[in-house]
């Protein structure tokens, strides 16, 4: 399978590197020339546009920031859809609204191109250890065609169902993580007010039934939430907005998890 990869940031860059190392013929495109420099001494080729990249690819992986980026990269006379041949596949690794995937799939389907959504979790360290989590939605046959490429950097690759189910799952994961950040941070603050050092409380809870990934992300520091707000506040705000929109569209309540996530965003000064 010939692979095109667009989105060579902190997450996508290492993923593209593993695909190249695995021996798949790979073509890259980036807005910034500097993003391509790490691949200068590899077998990867560089395209002049997304359309040119797509013309030489069976599978185009997108790991750009958000919905607007996906639409921009795939549309227009220089976009991915302008170059991808019938039978080609677009895999959306970005975390976006499921409706973005469905809209693209409708447009792509008219020219015989398939779309799957495949958001990821784990970051660059997980890519290096080939244990990135990939959440996939889409036609089972198409997913299986792409699985060898995903296996070059991921384990597990979980097929969740129809197109959009990968995005919904990723958004629910991020919703719960956001909620857990706030509850963990306020638990540390309460403990400190009651005379228990935050780092000691973290040491105990991390070995007990109250443990969570969010607790450890705070680093045993009552100011950890402020630190994370600067790093990820905007992205968490975006993801909570998206999942709240999904709940509203389905006319189902967000419940305690959405309430807790909203409380966290308020603490991070990034209200929904």
Q: What is the pLDDT of residue 5?
A: 98
Pick the CATH number of 168-267 from 1.10.3720.10, 3.30.450.20, 1.10.1040.10, 1.10.1740.10: 1.10.1040.10
Asked if 8 and 16 count as a contact pair (C-beta separation under 8 A), the reply is: yes
Q: Which two tokens stand for residue 60?
A: 């185009």
Grouping H, G, I as helix, E, B as strand and the rest as coil, residue 208 is coil
Q: Which two tokens stand for residue 47?
A: 């395209």
Q: What is the pLDDT along the chain (272 residues), one digit of tens a residue?
A: 999 999 999 999 999 999 999 999 999 999 999 999 999 999 999 999 999 999 999 999 999 999 999 999 999 999 999 999 999 999 999 999 999 999 999 999 999 999 999 999 998 899 999 999 999 999 999 999 999 999 999 999 999 999 999 999 999 999 999 999 999 999 999 999 999 999 999 999 999 999 999 999 999 999 999 999 999 999 999 999 999 999 999 999 999 999 999 999 999 999 99
Sequence-separated (6 or more) residues with CB below 8 Å from residue 232: none
Q: What is the pLDDT of residue 131?
A: 94
Inter-helix orientation angle 165-193/255-267, to 10°: 60
Q: What is the pLDDT of residue 53?
A: 98
Tell me the β-bridge partners of 132. 154
Integer Cα distance of 52 and 160 in angstroms: 31
Instruction: Compute CA 201 distance to the chain's CA centroid, rounded to the nearest angstrom.
Output: 31
Grouping H, G, I as helix, E, B as strand and the rest as coil, residue 213 is helix
Integer Cα distance of 159 and 165 in angstroms: 9
Tell me the β-bridge partners of 60. 4, 90
Q: What is the pLDDT of residue 75?
A: 97
Q: What is the pLDDT of residue 66?
A: 92
Q: What is the pLDDT of residue 227?
A: 96
This prediction's pTM: 0.94
Return the domain boundaries, the chain. 3-162, 168-267
CATH 3.40.50.720, domain 3-162, yes or no: yes
Q: What is the pLDDT of residue 158?
A: 98
């Amino acid at each position: 399978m010939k692979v095109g990869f667009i989105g060579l940031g902190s997450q996508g860059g290492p993923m593209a590197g593993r695909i190249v190392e695995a021996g798949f013929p790979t073509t890259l495109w980036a807005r910034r020339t500097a993003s391509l420099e790490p691949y200068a001494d590899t077998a990867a080729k560089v395209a002049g546009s997304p359309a040119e990249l797509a013309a030489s690819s069976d599978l185009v992986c997108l790991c750009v920031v958000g919905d607007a980026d996906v639409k921009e990269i795939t549309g227009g006379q220089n976009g991915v859809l302008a170059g991808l041949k019938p039978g080609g596949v677009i895999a959306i690794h970005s975390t976006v609204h499921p409706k973005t995937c469905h809209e693209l799939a409708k447009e792509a389907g008219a020219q015989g191109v398939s779309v799957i959504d495949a958001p990821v979790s784990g970051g660059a360290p997980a890519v290096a250890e080939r244990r990135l989590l990939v959440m996939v939605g889409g036609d089972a046959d198409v997913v299986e065609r792409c699985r060898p490429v995903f296996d070059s950097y991921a384990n597990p690759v979980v097929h969740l169902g129809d197109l959009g189910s990968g995005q919904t799952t990723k958004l629910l994961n991020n919703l719960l993580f956001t909620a857990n950040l706030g509850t963990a941070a306020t638990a540390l603050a309460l403990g400190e007010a009651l005379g228990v050092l935050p780092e000691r409380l973290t040491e105990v809870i991390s070995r007990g039934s109250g443990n969570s990934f969010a607790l450890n992300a705070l680093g045993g520091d009552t100011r950890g939430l402020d630190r994370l707000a600067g790093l990820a506040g905007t992205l968490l705000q975006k993801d909570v907005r998206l999942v709240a929109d999904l709940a509203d569209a389905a006319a189902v309540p967000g419940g305690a998890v959405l309430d807790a996530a909203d409380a966290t965003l308020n603490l991070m000064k990034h209200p929904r």
